[in-house]
Amino acid sequence: MLFTLAFRNLWRNRRRTLLTLSAMVASAALLILALGVFSGMFRDMLASATEQYYGHLVLAKTEYHERRDMFAHLDEEVASRYITAEDTEIIGISPRLRSFGLISLAETSQPVELLGVIPEREKQVTSLQTKLIAGNYPSEAVNNGALIGQGLARKLKVSTGDEMVFVTQAADGSIGNDLLIITGIFATGDSRHDNNLVLAPLGWAQKIMVLPGRIHEVAMTLADPMLAALTADRLNPRLPDDVEILDWGDLLPEMREVIAAYDVSRMIIVSILYMATGLGILNTFFMSVMERTREFGILMAQGMRPWTIRGLVLLETCLLGGIALAIGLTCGAVMTLYMQQVGIDLAGYITPVTYAGGTILPRLHAVFEAGNFYVPAGMLLLVSLIAGFLPANRAARLDPVQAVREV
């Protein structure tokens, strides 16, 4: 009956309860949406860095990442030695050979970074095949086909089918050079990749660098990028001393910091918003308790213990919090789903921004993340309890004689 009493008490002043409820629902729903959009933005940034270039994990010689030493190469089959079928979280593995050189067409030259890849394997790790604006992704069929970025193509004034010369230092001390045929042009929105990156077949790159059967790194992709650090920690003990696996957080420390800072700022945003909501709840329940002073006196006279009175008011606030939570979570989920499926395209207003090693795309879109739901949900219930405690305490400490006299 206490539950019945608490529930009915909520609706004594229907308008006031609905107003408080709507504030709680709106704060929960909008917060979930905002956090979903933030997560979407960071997911885009992370994806731009990992799915367009690094992958989530990179196996290479120790310190290769800092020095890019051409001679820090590995056996082409190195991955199969250390990564087994039991490592099911790894869903893509791509061996790569890296070279820095000049690419020329007629009298125009540009410095570029060339990645020698096995096209079908590279597609498992990066998603440049989805960013094509002209031509096709390189294939095994064309042994010197290349994929270049839109910015580079513009600078060189080339299009698909054109031939270019790539010149680089070879491992034997000679100058390696050969013709590349442009099979496709990509546009990621990230100027570093669009202006500098060239993908070519691994065999072709090994030939001109005179590094047959050798690679510089193995890029890997995971089902859940947030598990990259854990996976790297698990795999590293298997490797010899001069080989290491770095996760995207090691490769992009700024990105890791940004995401860690986001987790903190998320808590701050939630706290500020709910502080305001909490004041609303506090006001509502203080008024409700003041209006029912006489009634609490009657309940005490009947033998209701102070703790039960306190519990009754807290039950009312928790009920209100629970109702707000159910509606708020539903509305938040629906809005997040809409922003995930449809989103808002801002390409007409802003250009992509490169920040902390990733690219913020000109769009608003949300992603579902458990934390974006349980943090606001938990906080809402906590705020309801805290805001309810003061009025509940007041009710429990009433003097029954004075309370019964209250008009």
Residues in the site for another protein, rule: CB under 8 A? 1-2, 4-5, 8-9, 12, 294-295, 298-308, 400-401, 404
Q: 207 or 294: whose CB is closer to another protein?
A: 294
Q: Kind and range of the H or E element at 98?
A: strand 90-105
Contact in structure between 94 and 55 (CB atoms under 8 Å): yes
How far is it, in rounded angstroms, from Cα 190 to Cα 159?
Answer: 20
Least distance from C-beta 6 to another protein, angstroms? 10
Instruction: Describe the crossing of helices 253-291 and 293-301 by its angle, rounded to 10 degrees.
Output: 70
Least distance from C-beta 407 to another protein, angstroms? 9
Handedness of CA 276, 278, 282, 288 (dihedral sign): positive
Beta strands in 268-398 (DSSP E): 344-345, 353-355, 358-360, 363-364
Query: Looking at residue 50, what DSSP letter applies?
Result: I
Q: 238 or 305: whose CB is closer to another protein?
A: 305
Least distance from C-beta 25 to another protein, angstroms? 23
Q: 2 or 133: whose CB is closer to another protein?
A: 2
Q: Please give the structure tokens belonging to residue 12.
A: 């004594």
How far is it, in rounded angstroms, from Cα 46 to Cα 54?
Answer: 10
How far is it, in rounded angstroms, from Cα 150 to Cα 161?
Answer: 14
Q: 301 or 344: whose CB is closer to another protein?
A: 301
**Helix, strand, coil in percent for the chain, rounding step 5:** 55, 20, 25
Least distance from C-beta 291 to another protein, angstroms? 11
Which are the contacts of 299, defined by CB distance < 8 A and separation ≥ 6?
309
Least distance from C-beta 308 to another protein, angstroms? 7
Q: 9 or 27: whose CB is closer to another protein?
A: 9
Q: 268 or 407: whose CB is closer to another protein?
A: 407
Least distance from C-beta 233 to another protein, angstroms? 55
- Listed residue (323, 276, 300, 272) closest to 397, CA to CA: 300
Least distance from C-beta 283 to another protein, angstroms? 21
Q: 301 or 337: whose CB is closer to another protein?
A: 301
